[in-house]
Amino acid sequence: MPEDDRVPAETGAPINKNSLITILICVAISMFFMRSGFLSFFFLVPLGYAVMATGSVFFTFIAASITNIILDIGLNFSGIVNNAVYVLMDIIYFTALFFGFLWIIGGKNIRTVYRFMIASIIGTLAFLLIIFRQDSLFFLMFTGIADELFPGLFTMDILEVIKSILLRGGALVSVIFMYFINRQLAIYAFRLIKKQRNTQNIVSFYAPANAIWVFSGALATVILSSVMKIEILEIIAWNVFIICVIVFMTQGAGILMHFLAPQKPALRIGVYILIIVVLFTPVNIVVLAALLLLGIIENWRPFRKLPQK
């Protein structure tokens, strides 16, 4: 969640023929990705590129939303997806994701980290809306695939456990991860196509000044609400706590990259590869905890030069 690792877009710039063509092509690629299996995870990348290349958040959002609505309605009327409720949920879900992601990419006047938080919360609410409707196609497909892979395992008790995890930060983490990966790939694609160099990265990310107190308050609230059995307060506190954890882990990663920056490229690449490998092993919790602790410690012991106010 780097603060300034984005290509400045002239948001609100007048649209022209070339910009419109770029947006329409990117929207078409996005719609193809959405309905193509594995590539569906990266459907936001072309839209992020469109905003960076044209500077237009509004036209990109409108084009993507209207195209998705037309496709969904067309699938419903054609009989391919004969479920009006699912179509409506799909429209709400993807419209929310379009809005949040494009605002992260091209929004102004609010720090990127705050846009990231707000957009992720909006996306999470839309995700929970669609996944917890037991008559939705998404829910039926999920349970159907689960029964095929693990016959008899996914009982209602197991589903309740999954629901509890999703409500307590699992869904939020999924949306944040999706936004982050798509955002980074959109930035890399833009810089590759436009031949721009990467001038800033995660090294420049600093957690908001009062984040440590929000982190502490959320943790205390999680414990108290759990003991007092106040479920709604516990769910809210967990999600706030998860956001703070991600923010401080990002700050910790920035500190690590700051220390590695002066080192030889071979050493840096070796460390990055080692970290990635470790993340896919059972000890990944140690790496994540170390980054979290490093990010928290910087509140009292600055490891990098603080940004000028």
Helices (H), the chain: 17-34, 45-54, 57-78, 84-106, 112-131, 137-149, 156-165, 171-193, 211-227, 231-260, 265-279, 284-297
Candidates 224, 226, 207, 225; CA nearest to 215 is 207
Mean per-residue pLDDT, 4-16: 52
CB 48 within 8 A of CB 182: yes
When pLDDT is averaged across residues 154-173 and rounded to a whole number, the result is 79
Quickly state the pLDDT bin for 70 (edges 50, 70, 90): very high
SS3 category, 247: helix
Residue 190 class from Cβ within 10 Å (0-12 exposed, 13-18 middle, 19+ buried)? buried
Sign, CA dihedral 12-13-17-22, equals negative
Sign of CA dihedral 155, 156, 157, 163: positive
- Per-residue pLDDT, averaged over 78-83, amounts to 60
Q: Supply the pTM of this predicted model.
A: 0.83
Is 240:218 a contact under the CB 8 Å cutoff? Answer: yes
Residues with Cβ within 8 Å of residue 276, at least 6 apart in sequence: none
Among 3-7, 14-18, 100-104, 108-112, the range of highest mean pLDDT:
100-104
3-state secondary structure of 270: helix
Q: Report the chain's C-alpha Rg in angstroms.
A: 21
Mean pLDDT of 77-99: 78
Q: Does the structure show a pLDDT above 70 at 193? A: yes
**Ranges 12-26, 100-114, 116-130, 139-153: which has the least confidence:** 139-153
Q: How many helices (H) and strands (E) in the chain? A: 12, 0
- Answer whether residue 309 shows pLDDT above 90: no
Confidence of residue 198 (pLDDT cuts 50, 70, 90): low
Contact 190, 46 (CB under 8 A): no
When the pLDDT of each residue in the chain is averaged and rounded to a whole number, the result is 83
More confident residue, 216 or 262: 216
- Hey, where are the domains in the chain? 1-200, 205-309
Q: What is the pLDDT of residue 80?
A: 54
**pLDDT over 70 percentage in the chain:** 81
Give pLDDT tens digits for 219-241. 999 999 999 999 999 999 999 99
Gap between the Cα atoms of 27 and 34, Å rounded: 10
pLDDT tens-place string over residues 27-59: 999 999 988 877 889 999 999 999 999 989 999
